[in-house]
Chains A and B, each alone.
Chain A
Amino acid sequence: MSVVEGTARPAPIPVEIGRARGGPPRSKVLRRDLWWLQPLAIALGLAAFVGYGVWTAFRGDYYFAGAHAHYLSPFYSPCFVRSCPTDVVWGPAGSIGSVSPALLVLIFPMGFRVTCYYYRKTYYRSFWASPPACAVADAGSTKPGGARSRYSGETRFPLILQNIHRYFWYVAVLFAGILTWDAIDAFRFGPNGWGLGLGTIFFVVNAGLIWAYTLGCHACRHLCGGGLKRFSQAPVRFAIWRKVVSPLNAHHQLFAWLSLFWIAWTDFYVYLVSSGAIHDPRLF
């Protein structure tokens, strides 16, 4: 055996491969429940969000309700191109040309979600059908020699890149901070007034959900304490791991969907208000 520090090609596990298994044919699905319903619903949910996201990102307009209140769409934050309203522009304004501001920033939250362990599960199941549902054969795996008869999981390029999820998490923390700032800014009405509109509440909920999703991330769970061998020697990290991050992590799927839906909703609300379609009720 020659595997030390992962240099040599590992010896195979000594089992006989390709022995006849017997049993019912693998291509036959014996499950009798509606196993296809969940992957289908998830595929539709994700497709709907992507469709909405494309529409909103290319819209390049009606993302800031400045005339009424400082509501900046989360799809467009942070805003740092020439066309950004002066009230919300970040950094050296005008340095970047007139592309839709959303296109520049969306790459980060998108990369974060695409490499998220939960979303990986959803699209591997719903779009790759690998597997479509538990105990249902991987698409193509029952055709010997077919294009999909072999499976290498996340061991090779490009899927090995999923391992960079942690870097997106670092950036995602910044973004959660920015969206928190936007939520505070959503209390500003007019040039120097403060108030509370219905939209303000949507922004606060949005920031809360983003934090719940970001802090429940598996990379975060590992970094804050999960990677330790001895919790007893790091009581603070243990407390964060146990009391904050692990409970959020247990509901990571829930927050993944809630925050996804809510981002779209907040953006749509800003669109409605800034385009004048509806009037944002001011609570005080």
Chain B
Amino acid sequence: MSAVSTGELLMKLWRGDASGGDFVEYRLPAQEGEVVLDVVHRIQATEAPDLAVRWNCKAGKCGSCSAEINGQPRLMCMTRMSTLPIDEPITISPMRTFPVIRDLVTDVSYNYEVAKLIPSFTPGPRPAEGYRMFQVDVERGQEFRKCIECFLCQNVCHVIRDHEENKAHYAGPRFLARLAELEMHPLDTLDRRAYIAERMGLGYCNITKCCTEVCPEGIHITDNAIIPLKERVVDQRYDPVAWLGRKIRGRPRPMTPADVEPYTGAAAKAARAGQAEAS
């Protein structure tokens, strides 16, 4: 390990593409009040003009600058240098779960493919007096709307991070939170539970909570989204008491194939029209 002198930063940035690469060392003077992204930008402005890094807002709101800082999935723009042990080298590497395009930039398109498979918000017929919602009913879903789609949770989740083949049948924490938001929506009428259990792969999550630990928006993904979804699935398939209750009281409309057409489908368009009307 190389020595770092006082007032100096030793940054080790991953340089390379999908075919390979290595950590490259950059030494530069430490400056007061910087975040990691500032330092990366200084490297880009001086020694490495060809360094690829994705960013937009520098305010923790666009979700572009996700990376792994000393092995921890973080937003580069929200990680202060003063919180890191700068008397040692600092490593910055791209998110591990997604293929590297170049340097710190990864191809996160897996997430967009999952997003297309989320059955849209589906309100019932519009009542004569219009839709009415109470704050207590929408509050829970609002927590999930804070999501900035940085995909740090998707990146840290071992289900797909360590087991590539599971990308074919696991939606990942960000999208389970999205599904929870829809399932908890007071005006939604769709029963997505079987779909969540099977196609979205809810059972793969073993509630080890890394998604919650890394979420820069502090969303309680595991406790407030995933576990409530697991309990809803238990209601549907593993609890005869709940089953009896449903027989007596009726139930929401089960999903049909049309509900899961990607956003380009006719059903999705109609659902979106309903959504616009409801909001």
Interface residues of A (CB under 8 A from B): 1-6, 10-15, 17-24, 26, 29-33, 117, 120-121, 124-125, 130-131, 134-135, 137-138, 141-142, 149-155, 159-160, 163-166, 218-219, 221-223, 226-227, 229-232, 238, 249-250
Residues of B contacting A165 with CB < 8 Å? 234
Residues of B contacting A14 with CB < 8 Å? 113
Residues of A contacting B171 with CB < 8 Å? 13
Whether B136 sits at the interface, judged by CB under 8 Å, is: yes
- Across the interface, name the chain A residue whose C-beta is closest to B238: A163
Known: A15-B167, A134-B213. A155 touches B201 (CB 8 A): yes
Number of A-B contacts (CB under 8 A): 218
B162 touches A131 (CB 8 A): yes
Stretch at the interface among B31-39, B40-48, B51-59, B70-78: B70-78
Whether B14 sits at the interface, judged by CB under 8 Å, is: yes
Partner of A138, one of B100, B162, B254, B257: B162
Whether B16 sits at the interface, judged by CB under 8 Å, is: yes
Residues of B contacting A232 with CB < 8 Å? 134, 136-137, 186
Chain A contact residues: helix, strand, loop or mixed: loop
Residues of B contacting A32 with CB < 8 Å? 70-71, 85, 88
Given A14-B113, A18-B164, A152-B204, 7 extra CB contacts under 8 A: A3-B260, A13-B170, A21-B18, A30-B91, A33-B72, A134-B156, A222-B235
A153 touches B261 (CB 8 A): no
B21 touches A12 (CB 8 A): no
Q: Please, could you name 30 A-B residue pairs with CB atoms under 8 Å apart, sorted by A? A: A1-B260, A3-B257, A6-B194, A12-B168, A13-B169, A13-B171, A17-B164, A19-B18, A21-B100, A22-B18, A22-B20, A23-B16, A23-B21, A23-B93, A26-B96, A26-B162, A32-B88, A117-B227, A131-B162, A134-B213, A151-B159, A153-B204, A154-B206, A159-B206, A221-B228, A222-B235, A227-B231, A230-B137, A238-B136, A250-B223
- Across the interface, name the chain A residue whose C-beta is closest to B107: A19
A23 touches B100 (CB 8 A): yes
Residues of A contacting B71 with CB < 8 Å? 29-32, 135
